[in-house]
Homo-oligomer: A and B are copies of this chain.
């Protein structure tokens, strides 16, 4: 990874956190502590961030909502390093120049950091994802129109003739509340509605879901397993769930957490 890419990713991450630790940044960029420290020192000199003991913090005054907002911090607990690994694996499927769709959610939100070093066309219905990528990357951002629902952090139009119908991408990335033999599950009707709007706008459907999602069963079925091209999850997935996916013809990518990532988690 090149220095500039790391710098972008670091700056992207620092904006979200009160203080980004060195080990978090090590995990995120898959480079060494020494390199991260040097990067932080450099960016500190350039006044792009402020160096503090343990890591770095944003030079800007803290924001109200956004990726670091309420929903995010509630889910922030145990699974962040897994989500990060999954999001990293998702972004590794992308190349500069690709057009992709990203649905809002706490797991997909983690994609913004590795995406900060890319140059792609990204369509999203997530205001915070758009906000972050607009401010911290050179990607072209396309946004669905409608009402911004603060609770779910998504933009949703009640109308059929919305601009979403005019976008098509090879790949769409989305999260999920739960996965079972019945298909993808969600709990919130608004999120169902948002995802349904997007689900037909891409050829491949790639689901980001940590292994805990296989135990969760929610009330609303979003789509059948067969519609899913690929699921990216972590290595705690059970064999019976592997079999279930295999039977449905779903590709499985197991994102390995790096050693540093596990340290952060532990």
On A, residues with C-beta under 8 Å from B are: 2-5, 8, 16-19, 21, 52-55, 57-58, 62-66, 96-97, 117-119, 127, 130-131, 134-136, 138, 140-148, 150, 155, 157, 159, 161-166
Q: Which residues of B contact A166 (CB under 8 A)?
A: 157, 159, 161
Bound form: Cα–Cα A232–B52 in Å: 34
Q: Which residues of B contact A53 (CB under 8 A)?
A: 2-3
User: Do the beta carbons of A147 and B155 come within 8 Å of each other?
Assistant: no
Bound form: Cα–Cα A212–B152 in Å: 43
Bound form: Cα–Cα A256–B1 in Å: 44
User: Do the beta carbons of A147 and B140 come within 8 Å of each other?
Assistant: yes
- Across the interface, A143 reaches (CB within 8 A) one of B5, B8, B143, namely B143
Bound form: Cα–Cα A162–B127 in Å: 18
User: Do the beta carbons of A16 and B97 come within 8 Å of each other?
Assistant: yes
- Across the interface, A163 reaches (CB within 8 A) one of B2, B16, B19, B159, namely B159
A40 to chain B, nearest CB (A): 14
- Given contacts A58-B138, A159-B163, A162-B163, 18 further A-B pairs with CB under 8 A are A2-B52, A4-B19, A4-B57, A17-B119, A18-B96, A18-B119, A64-B136, A127-B143, A130-B148, A134-B150, A140-B148, A141-B148, A143-B147, A143-B148, A145-B163, A145-B164, A161-B161, A162-B162
